[in-house]
Amino acid sequence: MIKVLTTVNEVKNIVNKLKKEGKQIGFVPTMGALHQGHISLVEKAVKENDVAIVSVFVNPTQFNDKNDLKNYPRTPEKDTNLLDNAGVKFVFMPSETEMYPEPDTRIFDFGMLDKVMEGKFRPGHFNGVAQVVSKFFQIVQPDRAYFGQKDFQQLTIIRKMVKLLNLNVEIVGCPIVRGTDGLALSSRNKLLSEAHREAAPSIYKTLSESRNLTVTFNVKDLTDWVISTINKNPLLKVEYYEIVNAETLEPINNWNDAKHVVGCITVWAGNVRLIDNIIYK
């Protein structure tokens, strides 16, 4: 039976007990409104550790749009049931004041990692992510923490944060989970209108097709092709599509500029912002 924890002290007491027993802790930080993508992370955490702890907390410091924060879907009871069924022992559902008894003024230096792509369009977002995740790591002291590759830039930044703070936690990146039509699962999908939900799978369809064009297209032409193909649908509007070095996240000019290359995209479907990516090599 899952236990719901709401205070930092409750979590710390349980973690201390688990550590004394030599138990390994797997941790999955979430903002709730859980779907099969989250559950795939959770199941991996359950399988690879003695105990899995999941947090459900809509973190205000990573939102630079107050409406986005207000409208973010919240389904705590459903989330708890899903986690219970997945074998999670503890879910941490703190209040805002519990996580931020005083304002967190820390500023992280991620170099260029948080200046490109999402960072360009959502200034301060990744600093807020680093604030809350580092707080969770301090509270939960996990051996392993699990993050989805859908948020490719976030995963890269979390790995950098762990190095910067010299934290003893293994960051495990997990594959994107998609619906049968290819759309990457996201809590925001719940906010899509029927028409936009129908249009959204063309994002991944286009990204998939672009993989086959790397032989004949240079980086710039392929970038333009992806953007124009998706924008042909009047219900979708690309905010950015960038083909980047998977390690530094800096844009590349030629396919041989980097050993590992990823294409990252953000698309507006009405007033809902969808992100996705594709690994080229």
The candidate with the shortest Cα–Cα distance to 227, out of 211, 208, 206, is 206
Using left for φ > 0, alpha for ψ between -120 and 50, and beta otherwise, residue 100 falls in: beta
Catalytic residue among 38, 125, 196, 260: 38
Q: What is the spatial distance between Cα 91 and Cα 34, in angstroms, rounded to a whole number?
A: 13
Instruction: For residue 196, indicate whether it is catalytic.
Output: no
Contact 267, 238 (CB under 8 A): yes
Residues labelled as active-site residues? 38
